[in-house]
């Protein structure tokens, strides 16, 4: 009997490099790989740098392409690597229409922008584990995948949000938190299913610097990031979804 090839995932790491973040970069790569291999044992997970190296995975050679989170302004019109990434998305959909793509946080925002949506500042930064309410379409999409039929709990770490969805995208959750496109090939989530308590606490070290969160709020934030979440259940659903038409 022929052994099926291993599941292959490509991660586009979209966090802007900085001297203070090499440990975070490594932690994110490790966390993505851990989540995907738990969902699909023996999976091959490769990471790509769209910012400096501007190297992209070959569409069709991977079961899944994942756009990670990041801190750059996804709506910027003068940042070359962001515009190039948006072109990559549109070209991939055109040339390889069956390619499965997932966008997480910044990736969620960028995918929606690439297909005609808009992103803007949130009323406040959202950090820690929050419940996300599913729409009827979302309940169908995630049926039997989550502990709850009505919502999922997920790590959030963002200060911008999707204001208008991309053309042809269907809401799976309320408040523009999760979408799938009509072709069922692109899935986007504002939250971080890959995030762990340890990784979230590492990110908290930078919160006062770029999210303007006061030190007095840190204890409440630390309590929130330690709440139970459904990240692994979401990853298992994502892996199953890659095999769906």
For 175-188, the pLDDT digits (tens) are: 999 999 999 999 99
Does 20 score more than 60 pLDDT?
no
pLDDT band, very low/low/confident/very high, at 18 (cuts 50, 70, 90): low
Sheet containing 8-12: order of strands? 44-48, 8-12, 64-67, 100-104, 186-189, 178-181, 169-171
Active-site residue, 228 included? no
DSSP structure class, residue 138? H
Q: 3-state SS string over the chain?
A: CCCCCCCEEEEECCCCCCCCCHHHHHHHHHHHHHHHHHHCCCCEEEEECCCCCCCCCCCCCCCEEEECCCCCCCCCCCCHHHHHHHHHHHHHHHHCCCCEEEEECHHHHHHHHHCCCEEEEEEEEEEEEEEEEECHHHHHHCCCCCCCCCEEEEEEEEEEEEEECCCCEEECECCCCEEEECCCCEEEECCECCCCHHHHHHHHCCHHHHCCCCHHHHHHHHHHHCCCCCHHHHHHHHHHHCCCC
pLDDT at 26: 85
Does 221 score more than 60 pLDDT?
yes
**Other C-beta atoms within 10 Å of 1: how many?**
3
Span 199-223, average pLDDT: 77
* Whole-number Å distance between alpha carbons of 186 and 93: 9
CATH class of 8-127+158-195+231-241: alpha beta
Active-site residue, 194 included? yes
Q: In whole numbers, what is the pLDDT of the chain averaged over residues?
A: 93
pLDDT at 41: 95
Percent of the chain past pLDDT 90, that is, above it, reads: 80
Considering 158, 178, 194, 229, which one is annotated as catalytic?
194
pLDDT at 1: 62
Span 83-93, average pLDDT: 98
Considering 108, 151, 158, 192, which one is annotated as catalytic?
192
Span 151-158, average pLDDT: 96
Span 216-236, average pLDDT: 90
| φ, ψ of residue 220 in degrees (nearest 5) | -65, -40
Considering 105, 108, 155, 178, which one is annotated as catalytic?
105
Q: Output the pTM of the full model.
A: 0.95
Span 221-240, average pLDDT: 95
Span 132-136, average pLDDT: 98
């Amino acid at each position: 009997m022929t052994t099926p090839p291993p599941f292959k995932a490509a991660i586009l790491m979209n966090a802007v490099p900085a001297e203070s973040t090499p440990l975070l970069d490594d932690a994110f790569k490790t966390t993505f790989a851990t989540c995907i291999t738990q969902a699909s044992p023996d999976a091959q997970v490769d990471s790509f740098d769209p910012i400096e190296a501007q190297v992209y995975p070959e569409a069709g050679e991977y079961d899944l392409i994942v756009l990670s989170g990041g801190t750059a302004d996804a709506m910027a019109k003068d940042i070359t690597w962001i515009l190039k990434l948006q072109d990559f998305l549109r070209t991939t959909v055109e040339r390889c229409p069956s390619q499965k793509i997932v966008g997480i946080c910044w990736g969620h925002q960028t995918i929606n922008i690439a297909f005609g949506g808009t992103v803007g500042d949130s009323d406040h930064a959202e950090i820690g584990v929050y419940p996300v309410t599913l729409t009827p379409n979302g309940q169908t999409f995630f049926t039997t995948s989550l502990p709850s039929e009505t919502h999922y709990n997920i790590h959030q770490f963002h200060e911008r949000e999707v204001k208008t969805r991309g053309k042809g995208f269907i809401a799976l959750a309320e408040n523009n938190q999760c979408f799938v496109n009509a072709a069922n090939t692109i899935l986007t989530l504002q939250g971080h299913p890959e995030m762990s308590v340890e990784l979230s606490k590492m990110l908290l070290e930078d919160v006062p610097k770029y999210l303007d969160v006061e030190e007095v709020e840190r204890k409440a934030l630390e309590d929130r990031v330690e709440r139970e979440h459904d990240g692994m259940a979401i990853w298992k659903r994502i892996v199953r979804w890659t095999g769906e038409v």
